[in-house]
Amino acid sequence: MNIIINNSLMVPIYEQIVDQIKTLIRNGDLKQNDILPSVRSLSKSLKISALTVKKAYDNLEAEGFTVTVHGKGTYVAETNTELLLEEQKKEIEADLEMAIQKGRRFGISDEDIKSLFELILEG
C-alpha cells in the first residue's frame, strides 16, 4: 500500500491517509478482507505519529470502510464502491462551490468563473 503524505497541504495528515485508503478501496487496489498495515508499521514507514495513523484507522472504521479485530489487525470491510464514489463527488462539489463563492466575493463574474473551470478541465 503506497500512501503519500504532503506536509505542505492544509489537509490534516490523518485525512490524507483516510482519503487515499478510500481511493484504493474504490479503485479495487484494496479489497474486502485485505489487511491494512499495522498502526505501528504504517507510522514508521510514513515517519509520522502512531496516534495520527490510529485516528485515520478509527475514522475509516467509524465510516464503515474497515473492521478492526483486536490482536489481529485492521481489515477492509465490505463496501459499496458506488456509495464511496458518490461521497467523493459530493466532497468535490462542496469544494467547487466554495471556489465559486470566493470568485464572486472577488467580483469575478459567473461567466469568467465558468471560463476558468473550463480552462482547468482542459489541462
Task: Answer yes or no: do 63 and 93 share one domain.
Answer: no
Between CA 52 and CA 3 the distance in angstroms is 13
What pLDDT score does 28 carry? 87
Task: Answer yes or no: do 20 and 49 share one domain.
Answer: yes
Cell of 39: 498502526
Does 8 map to a domain?
no
Helices (H) and strands (E) in the chain, counts: 5, 2
Kindly report, residue by residue over 14-35, the tens digit of the pLDDT. 999 999 999 999 888 999 999 9
Q: pTM for the full model?
A: 0.71
Does 96 map to a domain?
yes
Does 99 map to a domain?
yes
Kindly report, residue by residue over 32-79, the tens digit of the pLDDT. 999 999 999 999 999 999 999 999 999 999 988 999 999 999 999 987
Domain range for 106 is 81-122
Kindly report, residue by residue over 70-109, the tens digit of the pLDDT. 999 999 998 777 777 887 888 899 999 999 999 999 999 9
Between CA 69 and CA 86 the distance in angstroms is 28
Domain containing 24 — which CATH number? 1.10.10.10
